[in-house]
Structures are given as structure tokens and as C-alpha cells.
């Protein structure tokens, strides 16, 4: 059975719940909930598993904090024997409008500390990442407050359809590959 690893990036703990930086956690949570899968504590991450047309999808939410995500990614790739081409890292993105999604199969960390650590631990940049737009609506010098801030009520109308689109993109990645996922869902 072909296996895939979907890594939602975020920070553990209730103080980070529903923050822009934790959209990766929110996306894998929504996908697990839609498939009646449940997250359980495991080594370096909370883990859930689902089946999708004969494929096994492992969902993880690293418990190592965002800036040390690489340790969890490497551990679960090795533990589940999942090749890099079957891994997607799900991350927040300032450079995209709120709720927009974009899949890339390689690239730089773009200043994102979670991706920076994953690239340092894996020693490569050629892994897929699903970037979820959080916008950049903050005054100069307040980026950290914005990223770690909770979603505003006015933003939720973009978040819910964005999360649904992200899940469809990830399902397409698993069933038809990255190129098809990018062609159908990149905005």
C-alpha cells in the first residue's frame, strides 16, 4: 500500500489554537475529522491515519514547536518508511491572500522558521509544501503579533473554504500526483 505523510505545521498548546501560524494544524484536524480519524499522542507529534482509495495517509501535528519541526518530519518519514516525494508540509504564508492555497514541489524556506528547520534537518529543499495564505494585514514591525494572533471574525469567511480547498488539493496529491494537484487547485 502506498503511504503518504501530511505534516501540518503549528505550535502545540491552547495559547496557539486558532492562530494564523497554526493553520497547518487546522487543516490536518479538519481532514481527520471529515474522515472520522482521531489524533493520538505519539513520538514528536500527534498522529492520525486515514485510508484514501487504497492509499494510507499519515497525518501529523509536530509537538516539537514550529522552529524544530524537522525532527518530527524526519522521524515519521523513517518510522513509516515514506519517501520524500510522498511528503507534504502544510504551512502558513504571508505572501498569499487570506484563504488562498498554493502547492510547490520545491523551493526556499521563504523566511518561514518551520520550513527552515525542515530543510536544515533533511538537507534538501525538494519536498512539497502547501502554502495557505494568511495575508499581511499588519502595521510595520508587528509581523510576529499578526502571525501568532487569532483569526478575526471577518477572516473566517475565507478560512473555511480555503481549508476545504486545501484538503481537496491534498487528496488530489495522494490520488493523482503533485502536478495534477497544482493544475487543479493552485490559485
Domain assignments of the chain as residue spans, ordered by start: 3-185
CA 11/CA 26 separation, integer angstroms: 11
Tell me how long the chain is: 187
Ramachandran assignment for 137, one of left (phi > 0), alpha (psi -120 to 50 degrees), beta (any other) = beta
Active-site position among 21, 112, 137, 142: 21
Q: Which pTM value belongs to this model?
A: 0.96
Using 50, 70 and 90 to split pLDDT, how confident is the model at 48? very high
The three three-digit cell numbers of residue 103, written as one number: 502547492
The CATH code that applies to domain 3-185 is: 3.40.50.1470
Task: State yes or no: is 142 an active-site residue.
Answer: no
Using 50, 70 and 90 to split pLDDT, how confident is the model at 187? confident
Are the C-beta atoms of 61 and 39 separated by less than 8 Å? yes
CB-based burial, 98-120: b 16+ in 10 Å, e otherwise: bbbbbbbbeeebeebebbbbbbe
Q: Measured between alpha carbons, how far apart are the two ends of the chain, in Å? A: 31
Ramachandran assignment for 65, one of left (phi > 0), alpha (psi -120 to 50 degrees), beta (any other) = left
For 113-166, write each residue's pLDDT tens digit.
Answer: 999 999 999 999 999 999 999 998 888 888 888 988 999 999 999 999 999 999
DSSP state of 17: T
Chain-centroid distance of CA 22 in Å reads 9
CB-based burial, 126-148: b 16+ in 10 Å, e otherwise: ebbbbbbbbbeeeeeeeeeebbe
Using 50, 70 and 90 to split pLDDT, how confident is the model at 53? very high
Amino acid at each position: 500500500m502506498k503511504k503518504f505523510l501530511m505534516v501540518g505545521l503549528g505550535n502545540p498548546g491552547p495559547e496557539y489554537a486558532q492562530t494564523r501560524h497554526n493553520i497547518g494544524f487546522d487543516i490536518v484536524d479538519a481532514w481527520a475529522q471529515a474522515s472520522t480519524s482521531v489524533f493520538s499522542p505519539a513520538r514528536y507529534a500527534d498522529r492520525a491515519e486515514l485510508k484514501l482509495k487504497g492509499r494510507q495517509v499519515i497525518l501529523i501535528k509536530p509537538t516539537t514547536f514550529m522552529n524544530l519541526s524537522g525532527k518530527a518530519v524526519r522521524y515519521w518519514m523513517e518510522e513509516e518508511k515514506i519517501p520524500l516525494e510522498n511528503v507534504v508540509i502544510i504551512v502558513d504564508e504571508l505572501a498569499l491572500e487570506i484563504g488562498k492555497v498554493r502547492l510547490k514541489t520545491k523551493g526556499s524556506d521563504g523566511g518561514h522558521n518551520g520550513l527552515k528547520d525542515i530543510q536544515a534537518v533533511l538537507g534538501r529543499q525538494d519536498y512539497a509544501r502547501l502554502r495557505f495564505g494568511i495575508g499581511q494585514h499588519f502595521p510595520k514591525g508587528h509581523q510576529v503579533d499578526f502571525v501568532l494572533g487569532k483569526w478575526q471574525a471577518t477572516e473566517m469567511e475565507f478560512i473555511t473554504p480555503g481549508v476545504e480547498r486545501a484538503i481537496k488539493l491534498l487528496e488530489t496529491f495522494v490520488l493523482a500526483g503533485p502536478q495534477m494537484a497544482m493544475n487543479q487547485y493552485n490559485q
